[in-house]
Chain A
């Protein structure tokens, strides 16, 4: 087991073979290449991507098909090469790749998901890229909840049944 001291989660212990490697980092974070995926009690299906280079850097993500069950990947040939995956077709979510969307949450704003640039992880090698898909039509600020749900955003306690 390896150990790392994080800002938000204290000391975390992990198996080194669970680490996800972004060979070229993520846009804005080109030097941060190693991330640990973590679940926390009570916050499933959220998946935290904790940097192993910077204790204070942690992305909150969701499996992309939790946000959009019909989400279709459009990974470029260049990114498929980086992922060491076949370039002639899109990889299969769940069996070949883990596909996550980075969530932006702030108290004063409604949460959004970046569907334009999903994080795609090769499940076999654990190499990852943030695969920007300019022709996909997806938004970099996709609202996590529909507009009529956002009226009640200040009280998250409303029952699921109240929003159809």
Chain B
């Protein structure tokens, strides 16, 4: 993995068409400006994780085992 130090106002380029600029650094957070072509999706990682998890959850509706699952969830209290 490539690790680069940047100051506020500085940028990195990914390929010829993606630019990520450090817009602001304050109290443990950085604000990034991202310029990318419209066909390149830019997502916060946690949104992508939740999207993938939602897609998996929607695929796996598994009604057969749910009575047992519910009993097991209730039984632990």
Contact = CB atoms under 8 A, between A and B. Distances in A.
A102 B54 contact: yes
Contacts of A42: 67, 70
A60 B44 CA distance: 25
A114 B53 contact: yes
B49 interface: yes
Contacts of A125: none
Interface in B33-68: 44, 46-63, 65-68
B73 interface: yes
Q: Is the interface of A mostly helix, strand, loop or mixed?
A: loop
Chain B, interface size: which category? Answer: 20 to 34
B70 A44 contact: yes
Interface string A128-160: 001010100000110011000000000011011
A132 B76 contact: no
B46 A103 contact: no
Contacts, number: 106
Contacts of A4: none
Nearest to A155: B68
A104 B69 contact: no
Contact of B50 (A45, A46, A59, A130): A130
Q: Which of A27, A66, A103, A116 has the most chain B CB atoms inside 10 A of its CB?
A: A27
Given A42-B70, A156-B69, A141 B63 contact: no
A66 B62 contact: no
16 contacts: A27-B47, A27-B54, A43-B67, A44-B70, A46-B66, A60-B66, A66-B77, A67-B73, A104-B57, A116-B49, A130-B50, A134-B44, A145-B76, A156-B65, A156-B69, A160-B75
Interface of B: 44, 46-63, 65-77
Interface of A: 8, 26-29, 40, 42-46, 57-60, 62, 66-67, 102-107, 111, 114, 116-117, 130, 132, 134, 140-141, 144-145, 156-157, 159-160, 163
